[in-house]
Chain A
Amino acid sequence: MKDYFRNIYQAIVTILIGMGVTFRHLFVHAVTIQYPHVKRELPARSRQKLFVNIDDCIGCFQCARACPVDCIMIETVKAGKDEDLGETSNGQKKRLHVVKFDIDMAKCCYCADCVFPCPTECIYMTPDYEFATYDRNSLLLHFAKYSPEQVKALHERQEKEALAKAQAAKIKAAAGTKKPESET
């Protein structure tokens, strides 16, 4: 009987103590942010959307190799002998046309492993987090600045050069193999 009333007493007292805590919180500012209207500023390091400053990209594939989920797709074409592609902002010479630099943000795991190996610091994560879309294909970000016609032309040139090189190598090889033939 004594226990019965003590239990009731304890239950009421401890609930009142808890109520006291919640009551005190009635008079403090709410921690909730009214999101679409009020936006919290994210820290500069915040890892959200990837961004590539394509003018600085030298097409070295370091980021694509570092990515654990293979979401970076790069395609390059060698520059011609008398073609000057300019320099990156930290003074490295660009030798490749980066004809394709796609990042699939749907695959990205936001680990920022691609950011650190970049020799020209041209790929980095930005605090921009509002890129939800209705279509999954629009999560595929294209950074390369070449138009399809330009890419086609570059590829054709590359193929032509490769063909010419292969022919030259063939002639050279044929010239090279003549000697041993004559010896035997």
Chain B
Amino acid sequence: MNKSNLPPSRFELEVPNKLKTEEMTLSMGPQHPSTHGVLQIILKTDGEIIDSADPRIGYLHRCFEKHAENVTWHQVIPYTDRLDYIASMNNNLGYVIGLERMMKLEVNERAEHLRVIVAELNRIASHLIALGTYGLDIGAFTPFLYTFRDRERILDLFEEICGARLLYNYIWVGGVAYDALPGWRDKVLQFCDYFLPKIKEYNDLLTFNKIFIDRTANVGVIPAELAINYGMSGPGLRGSGVPYDLRKIDPYSIYDRFEFDICTGRGEMGTVGDCWDRYWVRVAEMYESVKIIRQACEAMPDGDAKETVPRNIKVPAGEYYMHTESPRGELGYYIISDGGKTANRIKVRSPAYSNLSILSSIAPGVMIADLVAIIGSLDIVLGEIDR
């Protein structure tokens, strides 16, 4: 292979006597711990440098969209849980708000606050997984144990309010499935107080560790323009310095009432849009989520959260696109109804899918070890990509 055709790499390798290395095709995954699920990447490598990376998906396809056409409107909610299975609350929220806007349904105030609290708690839980497994990919095992310890507390809170730890089926059309028990709000506030000092622990352990910075800074740089062209969203796009957050730009539920900032990457450790920036956006977002949770807990009125849940869901004929900010980015539901008992068609715009698609354009020229860092920083969930 002609060396001049190769994309510019981070390391200019000096090959003695200009020896040509043979191109090798390497199949990474689908059973590979650092691909975060069943993702296969066909790598063409020139020595240690990647020539092209071709993600192959579909190993976790479960026909969500076809299922959604065959079960009633309400029965779709448990299926949405299983899209992005580590941020189920956010998946419920997008679908349910889409239906409510089609039905022009007003939701109880208490239910709205509960929704925001659980969605933000779930965002923290999801980012904790992202942080822990990112460290794991790069070779730091300890932070993983710390983040999972704290995620466990969030899951305990969820178990108390809705009985499930992973697949909640909690947010329903017109409200929520269960009202919060007395004392639950105090437990959430206690968790916030407990959690903030822990973020400093992760920072000490991982974020500002010199080895970690060397592995992630200046690696997998995604320029803002490229990110937008590929339809990236969420921490991936914000890491490239684009302040795009649907909670601010197109507020849904009651997000317009809360004060929080959009965190963007600033290239503190290297270039804007590198892996460290995307990682740092997630850490900073956890602070913002805690802010929102505290405001929502204080503003939450008393009352019955199940008051506005309708007995029968009758969705008028029409179509609606609802997009919400899930921990991975813009999660969209395009719902088409013909006024019947089931959906005519539900299309899901999965953020992780768009985020993954950029891989083949930034992978050429990096080392294989750095590819692991790039995939980890994109924080993909295969359940959502394949649906």
Chain A positions near chain B (C-beta within 8 angstroms)? 7, 10-11, 13-15, 17-18, 20-22, 31, 42-43, 45-47, 66-68, 109-113, 116, 125
Contact = CB atoms under 8 A, between A and B. Distances in A.
Contacts of B81: 111
Interface residues of B, number: 29
Contacts of B167: 109-111
B194 interface: no
B204 A113 contact: no
Contacts of B177: 112, 116
Given A20-B204, A68-B79, A15 B163 contact: no
B160 A43 contact: yes
A177 B178 CA distance: 58
B210 interface: yes
Nearest to A18: B205
B21 interface: no
A13 B77 CA distance: 49
A113 B205 contact: no
A31 B81 CA distance: 28
A66 B159 CA distance: 22
Interface string B176-212: 0110000000000000000000000100111011110
Given A68-B79, A111-B78, A43 B159 contact: yes
Contacts of B201: 21
B74 A113 contact: yes
B23 interface: no
A22 B206 CA distance: 12
Contacts of A110: 164, 167
Contacts of A111: 77-78, 81, 167, 169
Interface of B: 71, 74-79, 81, 142, 149, 152, 159-164, 167, 169, 177-178, 201, 204-206, 208-211
Give 5 closest A-B pairs by Cβ, nearest first: A68-B75, A111-B78, A47-B163, A45-B163, A11-B210
A22 B208 contact: no
B160 A45 contact: yes
Contacts of B211: 11, 14-15
Contact of B149 (A21, A31, A43): A31
Contacts of B161: 45
Contact of A7 (B152, B204, B210): B210
Nearest to B149: A31
15 contacts: A11-B211, A14-B210, A14-B211, A17-B208, A21-B204, A43-B160, A43-B163, A45-B160, A45-B162, A45-B163, A66-B74, A109-B78, A109-B167, A111-B167, A113-B169
Contacts of A13: 210
B78 A10 contact: no
B75 A66 contact: yes
A106 to B, nearest CB: 16
Contacts of A68: 71, 75-76, 78-79
Given A15-B209, A46-B159, A112-B163, A22 B149 contact: no
Contacts of A46: 159, 163
Given A18-B142, A18-B209, A31 B152 contact: yes
Which one of B152, B160, B210 has the highest number of Cβ atoms from chain A below 10 Å of its Cβ?
Answer: B210
A132 to B, nearest CB: 17
Contacts of B162: 45, 47
Given A11-B211, A45-B163, A112-B169, 17 more contacts: A11-B210, A14-B211, A15-B209, A17-B209, A18-B204, A18-B206, A20-B204, A42-B159, A45-B161, A46-B163, A66-B75, A68-B71, A68-B79, A109-B78, A111-B78, A113-B75, A113-B78
Contacts of A21: 201, 204-205
Nearest to B169: A111
Nearest to A65: B72
Nearest to A24: B201
Contacts of A10: 210
A67 B79 CA distance: 12
A109 B164 CA distance: 11
A14 B152 contact: no
A73 B100 CA distance: 32
A68 B75 CA distance: 5
Contacts of A43: 159-160, 163
B79 to A, nearest CB: 7
Contacts of B160: 43, 45
